[in-house]
């Protein structure tokens, strides 16, 4: 069984999160394009109205996108700290 160190695990998690962020970005862009294709009066009603299915899905995606972005930033910092020897800190 190969030995996997903490830095390798973090880098793999970062890659997975980056992939997820790309999927979320694409899904959000598709939703925005779908909404933009609707006549203005339909954008605030039905699925896109308050509590509509599309707006709930959009909010869910954007909340996850923010969480993924935060985790990417935190993980990136942790990787840098792991990769840098303590003596190189200024």
- How far is it, in rounded angstroms, from Cα 30 to Cα 41? 20
Q: Residue 41's pLDDT is what?
A: 86
Cα atoms in the 13 Å half-sphere on the side-chain side of 74: 8
CB 6 within 8 Å of CB 74: no
Q: Which residues contact 65 (CB under 8 A, 6 or more apart)?
A: 21, 24, 25, 28
Q: What is the pLDDT of residue 32?
A: 95
Per-residue pLDDT of the chain (90 residues; tens, 9 = 90+): 455 688 889 999 999 999 999 999 999 999 999 999 999 888 888 899 888 999 999 999 999 999 999 999 999 999 888 876 654 554
Look at residue 45 in the predicted model and tell me its pLDDT.
86
């Amino acid at each position: 069984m190969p030995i996997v160190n903490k830095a390798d695990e973090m880098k793999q998690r970062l890659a997975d999160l980056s992939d997820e962020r790309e999927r979320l970005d694409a899904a959000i862009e598709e939703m925005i394009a779908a909404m933009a294709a609707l006549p203005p009066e339909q954008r605030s009603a039905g699925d896109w109205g308050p509590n509509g299915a599309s707006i709930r899905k959009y909010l869910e995606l954007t909340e996850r996108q923010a969480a993924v972005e935060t985790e990417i930033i935190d993980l990136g910092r942790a990787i840098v700290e792991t990769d840098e020897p303590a003596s190189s800190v200024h």
